[in-house]
Structure 1
Amino acid sequence: MSIAMRSALIVLFAVLAIAGAELGGSMDGAQFLHYAFKPLTTLSIFFLALRAQPAINVRYRQAILVGILFSLLGDIFLMLPVSLLPQGFLLGLLSFLFAHLCFLRALCSDTSFFAKPLVFAALAALGAAHLFVLWPGLPPAMRIPVVAYVCLLLAMCAQAISRGISLRTVDSRLAMSGGICFMLSDTILAYNKFYTPIPHSPLLILASYYLALWLIARSVQASPSAHQDQGRDHA
């Protein structure tokens, strides 16, 4: 199956997952769509990254694959009702924290960490501003996990942007765009949960999330570039 066909299938699964989340309990079977196709979309993105050829390097592919698996685990924890799993949000948060650790490892496989300090400083300031707004709405028990997650998310995104600026390859720009989309998705989720309800939040959160994962998965495939041979032979 070609990349285009796999991507089209992912889009179909994502649309069904988002439709199920948007409709919720207003239509019979809608919740089933969400439960079935939310993890199936992420699993399909996993196979897209698994079959990408040629890969940038072995460590990059492995780290991205493990990160997507942690994302799949986070999907399952977050979608389960509170009545079934009271700590689902916290477990989902921890799962995505480990996912970002894996993505960060991948992004450091061919580019030095903190290569563009101004990028890290800018995102740190943005994160601090968001935390300032969200802080009153955060339950005390969630404050430390949320701060830890925000720090790691912003580090991953900053590294993705720094790497994209440094390498200037198609694959590095895909990863950079994926990092930005991940940050956007989590920002919407945080404001919707801890600040004020956002209309059509499932659509906004999941669409940007799946786009982020798809871009990150596509970044596994190396792109021809004059920069391709610089530091990408780490196996």
Structure 2
Amino acid sequence: MKKLALALFLLASATELTAHLFNWPTVRHFSKPLLMAFLGLYYYLSVEKSELSKLVVLALVFSWGGDVLLMYQPKHELYFIFGLASFLAAHLFYIFTYKQFRSEDTSNALMGVQRFRYSFPVILAGTGLITVLYNHLGDLKIPVVIYALVLVLMVLNALFRFGRTSLSSFSMVFFGATLFMISDSLIAINKFLMPVANSGLWVMITYITAQYLIIEGLLKHKQ
């Protein structure tokens, strides 16, 4: 059954990207809400019920909410704000998830100077984006800055799993978290700074890949 759920997720993903490529907004009203629904089903069917993480489920539920709300942002700015809040909650649940999906053994973890050195590029990217966008945010300065800070924390907590899980689990989750940051950055640049060519397509490619890698990486935690 989990293979069927994964196949449905991939089918919904392909449909969503094709709808972006050929500008089929009606199709996207069906394909986009199905993305996190099928990915959540895949996660649910891939774990023993005793090991099901409510944090992962909540992260996917709020991601689904953000997906749906952002579809309607052209109609009213409130949809963007509520979509932002939904994804903010998703990132917070992912932060707690990363803390849950790591071992207590810190003998191989990033410590001290190492932790700072590897964190620096992520922090630099986040603060750089805020600096570039800040004067263009208007009334949304505070919510967007808060969102960006939480997004950076989400990526850093994925980074801090290094040495506390399997290499495959760490790599997939960290790469997924980084792609999530890229996806959100593209949305912000396109909305507040300047148009990005094929932004919708690139946003969804990075977003879909990010969410899949995070879930697949978490599933590999105990292997």
TM-score for the superposition, normalised by structure 1: 0.82
Residue number among 69, 73, 87 corresponding to 1:77 in the alignment: 69
Report the number of matched residues: 215
Does the C-alpha gap of structure 1 residues 177 and 118 become closer, same or farther in structure 2, counting only changes over 3 Å? same
Is this contact kept in 1: 2:65–2:83, CA < 8 A? yes
* Aligned twin of 1:12: 11
Question: Which residue does the alignment assign to 1:91?
Answer: 82
- For the Cα contact (< 8 Å) 1:114–1:120, is it kept in 2? no
Which moved further from structure 2: 118-127 or 186-195?
118-127
Does residue 193 of structure 1 match 2:187? no
Task: Please report how far the alpha carbon of residue 49 of structure 1 lies from its aligned counterpart in structure 2 after TM superposition.
Answer: 1.4
* Whole-angstrom CA distance in 1 between matches of 2:221 and 2:103: 16
Which protein, 1 or 2, shows the higher relative CO under an 8 Å CA cutoff with sep ≥ 6?
1
SS of equivalent to 1:134? helix
Identity of aligned pairs, percent? 24
Gaps of 5+ in 1: 25-29, 226-235
Could you tell which deviates more after superposition, 194-203 or 107-116? 107-116
C-alpha distance in 1 between matches for 2:50 and 2:165 = 12
Within-5 A mapping of 1:101-180: 101-109=92-100, 110=102, 116-139=115-138, 141-180=139-178
Deviations 1:150-196 (A, max 9, x none): 11111111111221354343222221111011011111111111111
Gaps of 5+ in 2: none
**Residue among 44, 53, 60 paired with 2:47:** 53
* Partner Cα separation in structure 2 for residue 42 and residue 198 of structure 1: 25
C-alpha contact 1:182 1:208 (8 A) present in aligned 2: yes
Structure-2 separation of matches of 1:223 and 1:48: 16
1: CA distance, partners of 2:50 / 2:17: 31
2:172–2:217 Cα contact (<8 Å) kept: yes
In structure 2, the residue matched to 1:222 is 220
Give the helix-richer structure, 1 or 2: 2
Pick which of 8-17 and 199-208 moved more.
8-17
Letter in 1 for 2:8: L
RMSD: 2.4
Residues 1:106 and 1:57: Cα distance change in structure 2 (over 3 Å) = farther
Q: Once the two structures are superposed, what CA deviation does each residue of 1:182-232 show, in whole Å capped at 9, x if it has no partner?
A: 01111111111111111111110001101111111212323555xxxxxxx
Alpha-carbon distance in 2 for matches of 1:134, 1:223:
36
2:219 partner SS: coil
8 Å Cα contact 2:58-2:90 kept in structure 1: yes
Whole-Å Cα distance in 1 between the matches of residues 207 and 96 of structure 2?
Answer: 20
**How far is 1:2 from its partner?**
4.3
Q: TM-score under structure 2 normalisation? A: 0.86
| 2:85 counterpart letter in structure 1 | L
